[in-house]
């Protein structure tokens, strides 16, 4: 009987050669982050961290994508926010209710930073919005060259409640990406340091497996020391404090009465979440960010 992972309905969990593979398994939803999926990722990370045989963890997605974001369809369904007796907080309550409920959810994802064993995110297909947030909590990110990484939700929904963008790419690129919601290919994400490296899609599995096995050669207590040292260095730059601020800032953004936010709400009511996303993104087009500095003269 697993100690932490009591159920695994939307992930799979496997240990091979001292590496735990945690696979998000909602391919029909492009591995969108539902409350159940977030909870199972959290529990799987604790399970892997506690297992003596595990020395490295790989987080990946089944199907065509790593993770296409938060499950907006779940959140937009009033039945999933319902509390007829009014006993509990919901995200559709007050500003403080929004902060409280989001903080509980975000802290489950931030367990990746807290556990002692290193975690590699393996990105293929889309890693958007919450999917990008999830990947950037990991210690190392490897992407397929044709992967798509970004946070289109900043165009009208709010601000990333988990926000490590600055710590990967610095202030200018963080602002460039968050102010537009534009995405990068995996290849260009590696060029600016948003991910460690990018490889052809057909080589991604082998590349990540080789790195995970190489990390697993290190004594786990020494590996834990390396991870913790770097995380403390990030904390000296305010990384964890910023996550609390980011969640509060996102809740504040949810209160916006500006035209973009109003249009989003109206389109969700009239057309549903999927079409509302298409309407929101139409003016931006589908082209990824173009980095001229890396183009051939």
Domains of the chain (ranges; CATH) run 11-294 (3.90.226.10)
DSSP-assigned beta bridge partners for residue 21? 14, 58
pLDDT at 77 over 60: no
Query: Average model confidence (pLDDT) for the chain?
Result: 92
For residue 15, the SS3 value is strand
Q: Does the pLDDT value for residue 83 go beyond 70?
A: no
Which residues are paired to 59 by β-bridges? 22, 121
Please tell me whether the overall predicted TM-score, pTM, comes out greater than 0.85 for this model: yes
Question: Using CA atoms, how far apart are residues 180 and 257, in angstroms rounded to an integer?
Answer: 19
Residue bearing tokens 């409350």: 35
Q: Which two tokens stand for residue 200?
A: 């052809």
| CA-derived radius of gyration, the chain | 19
The predicted structure's pLDDT at residue 262: 85
Per-residue pLDDT, 89? 61
Would you say the C-alpha torsion 93, 272, 10, 114 has a positive or negative sign? negative
Listed range (55-59, 76-80, 128-132, 271-275) with the worst mean pLDDT: 76-80
pLDDT tens column, 216-258? 999 999 999 999 999 999 999 999 999 999 999 999 998 888 8
Q: Among candidates 33, 34, 27, which has minimal Cα distance to 64?
A: 27
Query: Which backbone phi and psi does 7 adopt, to 5 degrees?
Result: -140, 155
Please report which residue ranges of 156-203 form alpha helices under DSSP H. Answer: 165-180, 186-192
Is the distance from CB of 251 to CB of 95 less than 8 angstroms? yes
Higher pLDDT, 143 or 260: 143
The stretches of the chain forming alpha helices (DSSP H) are 35-50, 72-76, 95-109, 111-114, 130-136, 165-180, 186-192, 204-216, 220-236, 239-254, 259-271, 273-281
Residue 263 pLDDT: 87
User: Are residues 166 and 174 in contact, defined by beta-carbon separation less than 8 angstroms?
Assistant: yes
Measured CA to CA, the distance from residue 139 to residue 224 in angstroms comes to 11
CA torsion through residues 193, 195, 196, 199, sign = negative
SS3 content of the chain, % helix, strand, coil (to 5): 55, 15, 35
The pLDDT value recorded for residue 246 is 95
Report pLDDT digits (tens) over 135-168: 999 999 999 999 999 999 999 889 999 999 999 9
Residue 184, pLDDT score: 97
């Amino acid at each position: 009987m697993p100690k932490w992972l009591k159920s695994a309905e939307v992930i799979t969990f496997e240990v091979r050669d001292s590496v735990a593979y945690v696979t998000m398994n909602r391919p029909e939803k492009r591995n969108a982050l539902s409350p159940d999926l977030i909870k199972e990722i959290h529990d799987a990370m604790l399970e892997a961290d506690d297992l003596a045989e595990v020395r490295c963890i790989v987080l990946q997605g089944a199907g065509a994508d790593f993770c296409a974001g938060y499950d907006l369809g779940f959140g937009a369904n009033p039945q999933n926010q319902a509390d007829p007796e009014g006993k509990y907080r919901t995200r559709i309550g007050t500003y403080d209710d929004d902060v409280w409920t989001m903080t509980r959810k975000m802290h489950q994802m931030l367990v990746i930073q807290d556990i002692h064993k290193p975690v590699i995110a393996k990105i293929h297909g889309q890693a958007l919005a919450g999917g990008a947030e999830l990947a950037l909590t990991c210690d190392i990110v490897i992407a397929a060259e044709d992967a798509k990484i970004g946070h289109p939700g900043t165009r009208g929904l709010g601000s990333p409640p988990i926000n490590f963008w600055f710590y990967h790419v610095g202030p200018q690129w963080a602002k460039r990406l968050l102010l537009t919601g534009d995405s990068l290919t995996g290849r260009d994400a590696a060029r600016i340091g948003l991910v460690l490296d990018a490889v052809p899609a057909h080589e991604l599995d082998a590349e990540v497996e080789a790195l995970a096995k190489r990390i697993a050669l290190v004594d786990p207590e020494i590996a834990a020391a390396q991870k913790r040292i770097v995380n403390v260095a990030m904390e000296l730059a305010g990384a964890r404090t910023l996550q609390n601020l980011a969640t509060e800032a996102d809740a504040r953004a949810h209160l916006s009465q500006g035209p973009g936010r109003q249009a989003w709400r109206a389109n969700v009511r009239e057309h549903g979440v999927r079409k509302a996303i298409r309407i929101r993104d139409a003016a931006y087009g589908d082209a990824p960010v173009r980095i001229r500095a890396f183009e051939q003269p």
